[in-house]
Structure 1
């Protein structure tokens, strides 16, 4: 297909990525690693929020679980569907908001790689590639709604795995999940070099207190919440 590329993911597999679709990066791999530690397989139901190319959703589907993936980007929905066909894995991919996609259903596992980069634009973008990373003035424009919805998305004993930057306050994420009745904690961390988006906002991030002068590394975290 013209304009497509393939990108490496774990275990040597390569996924198709369309223009404007978030490609698997360090946060994707960190979330996949956390997923590998969960007890999930046939008979389990999973929801992947912000699926992008489908990298995390397809890893869950490979266990035999029944997986629904959701994204607000039509190119991402198409890419995930193409990758499911290419890898011969059953995957339901839905376009739209994750609450609407869930439609009252509850899951054994919810995975999420939401937009989490603080942005000078307080409003969440509605189009363009930056929908995959821009998340409002504090970087929590999508994280907070996921935290609020987690109790309604999970079955008793169900698990949420969400990756985001420590820059947008992992302690707050843990606190919000615990207020909703989840047993929450950070289960994985990884330092990665700043990418081009953060570098382009260095002065603004420093002015707002998100970064120290000369800072060049970003800490990624995976937060696990178990609904009790």
Structure 2
């Protein structure tokens, strides 16, 4: 099981800045151990979580029980388990680490981080499919690495009708997986020679003001520059 890392911490901080009214519907995709889902449930949200990994689903369910939180945990490929439903807030911490393998792993621990040569196997799908799950005033919080195309995510979310921007950043040292791939990253031009750090970002996306003129349902004005 893949333990929560710095990206989870950064996304938790962004979630804490959102004003969650009791009973709002939230969705945590690629939930892993369920940390984000439990954090939302503790604040009174009606929480659904989903993951393609059976091990992750079992862990998230056990963690929700342990923390005495009501979380509906579903197993399936990205948005398939919640097709047709709408949510006020969606959090996503997807696999985004670039790898030489052109397709996502069929199983095993690498499924939690491997995401194709450009790191966007899941990110591109998320930017296309997740916006339709948002209520008119819904919010998407997405975390990713700078190695996997932040500008591409912003552009894709804009094409999907959302107004998206980076609201949190953190530079951290490469972990064991990234460190092992530094020579390959350098050959692919993903990092400059000698690079040992990556920047993590949280993208916050809402309906474009041109399409949704009223104010969104609530966020504190403590967004990173």
Q: Taking structure 2 as the reference length, what is the TM-score of the superposition? A: 0.91
Post-superposition offset of 1:132: 0.3
- Contact in 2 for aligned 1:42/1:63 (Cα 8 Å): yes
- Contact in 2 for aligned 1:51/1:113 (Cα 8 Å): yes
- Contact in 2 for aligned 1:150/1:177 (Cα 8 Å): no
Answering whether residue 150 of structure 2 is matched by residue 170 of structure 1, we say yes
Secondary structure at the aligned position of 1:81 is classed as: helix
Post-superposition offset of 1:141: 0.3
Partner of 1:70: 50
**Unpaired segments ≥5 residues, structure 1:** 1-20
Partner of 1:129: 109
- Contact in 1 for aligned 2:145/2:199 (Cα 8 Å): yes
Alignment of 1:64-103 (within 5 A): 64-103=44-83
- The aligned length equals 208
Deviations 1:165-210 (A, max 9, x none): 0111111111111111111000000001011111111111001111
Partner of 2:8: 28
CA RMSD of aligned residues (A): 0.8
Post-superposition offset of 1:99: 1.8
Deviations 1:72-96 (A, max 9, x none): 1111101100110000000000011
Detail structure 1 runs of 4+ shifted over 4 Å in the superposition.
none
**Unpaired segments ≥5 residues, structure 2:** 213-225
Post-superposition offset of 1:144: 0.6
Partner of 1:47: 27
Partner of 1:149: 129
Q: Taking structure 1 as the reference length, what is the TM-score of the superposition? A: 0.89
Post-superposition offset of 1:43: 2.3
